[in-house]
Amino acid sequence: MYSVKEFDGGTPLRVSEQLVTLEIDGAPVTVPAGSSVMRAAAEAGVRVPKLCATDTLEAFGSCRLCLVEIEGRRGYPASCTTPVEPGMKVRTQSGKLAQLRRGSMELYISDHPLDCLTCPANGNCELQEMAGAVGLREVRYGTQGKNHLALAKDESNPYFTFDPSKCIACSRCVRACEEVQGTFALTLDGRGFDTQIAAGAGNFLESECVSCGACVQACPTATLMEKSITDKGQPDHTVVTTCAYCGVGCSFRAEMKGSEVVRMVPNKDGQANHGHSCIKGRFAWGYASHPDRITKPMIRASIDDPWREVSWDEAIQYAASEIRRIQAKYGRGSVGAITSSRCSNEETYLVQKLVRAGFGNNNVDTCARVCHSPTGYGLKTTLGESAGTQNFDSVDHADVVVVIGANPTDAHPVFASRMKRRLREGAKLIVFDPRAIDLARTAHVEATHLLQLRPGTNVALINSFTHTIVTEGLHKEDYIRARCEHDAYDKWKAFICDPRNSPEAMEEATGVPAAKVRAAARIYASAPNAAIYYGLGVTEHSQGTTMVIAIANLAMVTGNIGRPGVGVNPLRGQNNVQGSCDMGSFPHEFPGYRHVSDPAVRALFSTHWGVPLEPEPGLRIPNMFDAAVDGSFRALYVQGEDIAQSDPNTEHVTRALRSMECIIVQDLFINETAKFAHVFFPGSSFLEKDGTFTNAERRISRVRKVMPPLAGLADWEVTVALSNALGYPMHYDHPSRIMDEIAKLTPTFTGVTYDKIDRLGSIQWPCNDKAPEGTPVMHVDEFVRGKGRFVLTEYMPTDERTSRKYPLLLTTGRILSQYNVGAQTRRTQNVVWHSEDRLDLHPHDAENRGIVDGDWVAVRSRAGETVLRARLTERMQPGVVYTTFHHPESGANVVTTENSDWATNCPEYKVTAVQLVKVAGPSEWQRQFGDFTAQQADLLPKST
């Protein structure tokens, strides 16, 4: 069921410039052409009874409660399926209509259990509500008739139940699965009275269902019901907030009972998600109250000592004294911090401010270093702004969608559903990926071209793609001449047209047949609107930045920037990657991507913050590790990032961590990094604080506190306290004050206030005098940098090459049910779907090595070795293997190397040469990891 008291217009809102005026119950109503009579009535405040209709789905016309009388028409048309016409006179109430509605309702209730008082939907059940609305007073058919009351409940899904005895066969669930989610997991089985909802062949858990929750939300009865509601009852109030998982940034209504969450429901008014959700945001929030949460600050002198629970004061004073001691001994530059893409803009802003103003250096970096740093660099260089060009709604206008190195159905599921809807409407899809991702062939969607390239050859492929367009004259010379730098373009054009960049020349490197590249390129270039969406398969390479630039070149040369339906769209991995980058988390940039060496910018911040600021960029994360091993970097404050699990070459990272004297970890859980820490600040989840997140479309949305922080302080309050203890005073009584400061200092944020976000729902930056309500689509009349700049993108093969010893290429990624290092999702029932990371390989590679499905296999690279269980799949191409990195004991990053992007040091996670050997048990690293984990667990206070 929907969240309590949400408006439901019955059928979807139509957009049309043509307006139609009709009369409903004597009152005139004007609505867009194409609207249903039901919608028109709802807009006029007239509620026509309904059960099968809801405004997130197309009308179906099955419940027959919404019948109306229309002057001059025979019979009783259903208002949900009848479009409005000018001058129509509609009556929604009459004696006959009342009789017919009661007649249908009586039939419904003749096959429904009469257990309303003990039903979990009691208080929010549309069937109950409609029985009341139509005035049903008796059911004359008796209780002995045929019915479905004895059907068994399906409780297989960990988050919701399916009780067919309560089903009214309205098909809202089936339609939600098709129209909203696009998975087509549900169907109607049987016909007539035997019509039943069926999830594939078996139960919900074993079906194709992805647990997005759309069906549960759409169900008007208790047939599909969240187990949390069954356990806890209906909520007493709701708070609108923003999901803390991926970069889609879905708006949710947290349904509360006091300070306890009973349900998370996607917000129909949410501008990023329009009422849709995925398994993570919808259901996997239980981690926030998991018993593993650390709720008391802790300190210890050495990582071999037991942890000691202390007061906040003591922990903060201890941390501050250690930082000051280390700075005194090793110099001002011996300390630094890492901001988190999972924390709010305000928290991230404070950490970088603490480093620059409090620590007095620029040693601040963020986890975006290891994901989208090349995006910032590449897009800034070419287009002038370090961000995606569109809003998500833009995809509704795309005729061709190119997905490069992204797996949206797993990593950005809510946007993927939106994209799939557009693809089902007929937009064409081109995929660049070493793997056959789900999107390439899924229900009613199939890529026109799946360019299954060899890992590490992105630039070779896109150069040959663009070469085809320019040499075949399919580019938009007028657009380029009007909007781009001519000299740079001419130079680039000569480069890209060189035969060495032709599909034929590149075929050997990429493994993609030249004819296929040419065919795909022609489709992209000839579409009225073509949009590119990309992910970490673009950035996490030695040529990550080159590839981002090449994407921008491609979009510019075909005129695909500056209007809805086109653009260059990075799909951000975490909830606030965009925001953490915007907030000045990089060592070389202040908030708003302004270089620290710029005296004017430095003067602005220096004046405002009241301290002199360092003109030299600080250390990036990999530099911090190297400096730690060297001995020059001694203390690190890590807010919400688990570098020990997520960064490449684990052995090097742990060596660096062991070398430091003071590691301060601020997190919800004892993560892998915390095992090496000396100070632990218990973190606050997104439910426990106010703030804002900025999603992949530059959309700033509010995070609202629904419960007090479990540890007493929100993360931003801890940073403030630490700064004060360090002698650099910070005073904010609410995160809105922090945003006010950000707005004052950042030109792209000058119009942003909490009040305005509350009023508009969310704001896409830039938001300033030129765009007071934000900017859905960027670079409309001109590029942010003025003229677009083409940059040469010579293909350079990575140093990470296969050899006789390491003949296969490993690439890594994530899966729908788990989220990054898994700290949150592993502490939910999502483990039902993914309890371990597996190694995917092609059956040929398996056969050569005598590996069968389920075997333990050692994955050996130049950096290290780990052991995973094999899964044979033709999704892989021969020669390429794949794994996820959600479980720390998998050690995926023990194997990955320190190779990185030439411009930003973003690690080359996506290409590691490996060999596979069938083995009997875990690797040496895994044994050590197990021992260390057990040892660290013993050092935790026993009471927790």
Q: How is residue 766 written in tokens?
A: 């830039």
Task: Among 6, 91, 129, 141, indicate the residue that binds another protein (CB under 8 A).
Answer: 141
In whole angstroms, give the CA distance from residue 468 to residue 739. 47
Task: Among 19, 193, 481, 773, indicate the residue that binds another protein (CB under 8 A).
Answer: 193
146 binds another protein (CB under 8 A): yes
Closest to another protein by CB, 107 vs 792, is 107
Q: Which of residues 76-95 bind another protein (CB under 8 A)?
A: 76, 78, 80-83
Tokens 């926030």 belong to 288
**For the chain, the helix, strand and coil percentages under 3-state DSSP, each to the nearest 5:** 35, 15, 45
Task: Among 30, 93, 110, 659, indicate the residue that binds another protein (CB under 8 A).
Answer: 110
φ, ψ of residue 267 to 5 degrees: the values are: -85, 120
100 binds another protein (CB under 8 A): yes
Q: Which residues pair with 470 in a beta bridge?
A: none
Closest to another protein by CB, 137 vs 146, is 146
Q: Which of residues 36-75 bind another protein (CB under 8 A)?
A: 59-64, 67, 75
Rounded least distance, CB 176 to another protein, Å: 17
Q: Is 530 left (phi over 0), alpha (psi -120 to 50) or beta?
A: beta
Contact range with another protein by CB under 8 A, out of 97-105, 154-162, 366-374, 536-544 = 97-105
For 834-889, give the DSSP string. -SS-EEEE-HHHHHHTT--TT-EEEEEESS-EEEEEEEE-TTSPTTEEEEE--SGG
Rounded least distance, CB 104 to another protein, Å: 5
In whole angstroms, give the CA distance from residue 497 to residue 464. 9
Task: Among 84, 169, 387, 777, indicate the residue that binds another protein (CB under 8 A).
Answer: 169
In whole angstroms, give the CA distance from residue 743 to residue 759. 17
905 binds another protein (CB under 8 A): no
Rounded least distance, CB 756 to another protein, Å: 42
191 binds another protein (CB under 8 A): yes
In whole angstroms, give the CA distance from residue 766 to residue 923. 50
Residue 606: partners with Cβ closer than 8 Å, 6 or more residues away: 612, 613
Task: Among 194, 508, 630, 853, indicate the residue that binds another protein (CB under 8 A).
Answer: 194
Q: How is residue 355 written in tokens?
A: 């480093």
195 binds another protein (CB under 8 A): yes
Rounded least distance, CB 389 to another protein, Å: 32
Judge whether 821 and 671 are in contact, CB under 8 Å. Answer: yes
Contact range with another protein by CB under 8 A, out of 190-198, 241-249, 275-283, 882-890 = 190-198
145 binds another protein (CB under 8 A): yes
Which amino acid is present at 790?
F
916-to-437, 842, 851 alpha-carbon distances in Å: 23, 12, 9
In whole angstroms, give the CA distance from residue 688 to residue 247. 20
Closest to another protein by CB, 30 vs 187, is 187
Rounded least distance, CB 182 to another protein, Å: 16
Closest to another protein by CB, 196 vs 736, is 196
Rounded least distance, CB 103 to another protein, Å: 3
Contact range with another protein by CB under 8 A, out of 141-149, 257-265, 684-692, 874-882 = 141-149
In whole angstroms, give the CA distance from residue 204 to residue 224. 11
Binding mask 677-696 for another protein (x = CB under 8 A): --------------------
Which amino acid is present at 934?
A
Closest to another protein by CB, 102 vs 849, is 102
Judge whether 25 and 91 are in contact, CB under 8 Å. Answer: yes
Closest to another protein by CB, 34 vs 843, is 34
Q: Which of residues 757-786 bind another protein (CB under 8 A)?
A: none
Task: Among 192, 258, 499, 921, indicate the residue that binds another protein (CB under 8 A).
Answer: 192
Rounded least distance, CB 64 to another protein, Å: 4
| Vertex 631: Cα angle to 629 and 637 (nearest 5) | 80
Rounded least distance, CB 355 to another protein, Å: 58
Rounded least distance, CB 190 to another protein, Å: 7
Task: Among 190, 233, 786, 930, indicate the residue that binds another protein (CB under 8 A).
Answer: 190
Contact range with another protein by CB under 8 A, out of 100-108, 460-468, 752-760, 875-883 = 100-108
- Distance from the Cα of residue 653 to its chain's centroid: 27
Report the largest interatomic distance among the alpha carbons of the chain, rounded to a whole angstrom. Answer: 92
Segment holding 483, helix H or strand E? helix 477-483
In whole angstroms, give the CA distance from residue 369 to residue 622. 9
C-alpha closest to that of 449 among 459, 463, 439, 460: 439
Which amino acid is present at 298?
M
Rounded least distance, CB 121 to another protein, Å: 19
Q: Does a cis peptide bond (omega within 30 degrees of 0) precede residue 766? A: yes
Q: Which of residues 579-638 bind another protein (CB under 8 A)?
A: none
Q: Which of residues 2-21 bind another protein (CB under 8 A)?
A: none
Q: Total residues at the site for another protein (CB under 8 A)?
A: 39
Rounded least distance, CB 56 to another protein, Å: 18
| Rg (alpha carbons) of the chain, rounded to whole number | 29
| Vertex 513: Cα angle to 507 and 514 (nearest 5) | 70
Judge whether 39 and 11 are in contact, CB under 8 Å. Answer: yes
In whole angstroms, give the CA distance from residue 540 to residue 458. 11
Closest to another protein by CB, 219 vs 459, is 219
- Distance from the Cα of residue 493 to its chain's centroid: 36
Contact range with another protein by CB under 8 A, out of 107-115, 234-242, 629-637, 848-856 = 107-115
Closest to another protein by CB, 63 vs 679, is 63
Closest to another protein by CB, 107 vs 604, is 107
Task: Among 187, 295, 933, 944, indicate the residue that binds another protein (CB under 8 A).
Answer: 187
Contacting positions for another protein (CB under 8 A):
59-64, 67, 75-76, 78, 80-83, 96, 99-100, 103-104, 107-108, 110-111, 140-141, 144-146, 168-169, 171, 187-188, 190-195
